[in-house]
Amino acid sequence: MRTFKELIASASWHLSDRRQQLYWSLYYLLTDSVLGRHWLSVTEAGLRHYAVGLPRHPGFELIHRANEFSMLHEEVLTLLYHLVAVGRGRVLELGTYIGGATVVMAGAAARRRRSPIIAVEPGGRQQHDTLPSNDILDDLACNLDRFDLRQHALVLPGKSADPAIRQQVQEILGKERIGLLLIDADGSVERDIGLYRGLLAAGAILVLDDYQSSGAPEKTVYIKAWVDAAIARGEVESLGVWGWGTWIGRYRGVT
Inside any domain, residue 2: no
Classified as helix, coil or strand, 113 is: coil
Beta bridge partners of 119: 93, 155
Number of domains, the chain: 1
Inside any domain, residue 141: yes
Inside any domain, residue 25: no
Inside any domain, residue 58: no
In terms of pLDDT, which residue wins out, 175 or 8? 175
Inside any domain, residue 127: yes
pLDDT tens-digit readout, 122-167: 999 998 888 999 999 999 999 999 999 999 999 999 999 999 999 9
200: domain CATH number is 3.40.50.150
Inside any domain, residue 77: yes
- Please state, in angstroms and rounded to a whole number, the distance separating the CA atoms of residues 70 and 238: 24
pLDDT tens-digit readout, 187-236: 999 999 999 999 999 999 999 999 998 777 888 999 999 999 999 999 99
What domain range is 79 assigned to?
70-251
Inside any domain, residue 224: yes
- Please state, in angstroms and rounded to a whole number, the distance separating the CA atoms of residues 210 and 202: 24
Classified as helix, coil or strand, 97 is: coil
Q: pTM value?
A: 0.91
Q: Cα separations (Å) of 251 from 85, 146, 213, 225?
A: 18, 34, 22, 16
Residue 253: pLDDT band by 50, 70, 90 thresholds? confident
- Please state, in angstroms and rounded to a whole number, the distance separating the CA atoms of residues 221 and 231: 16
Inside any domain, residue 49: no
Q: Cα separations (Å) of 41 from 31, 46, 73, 86?
A: 10, 8, 23, 10
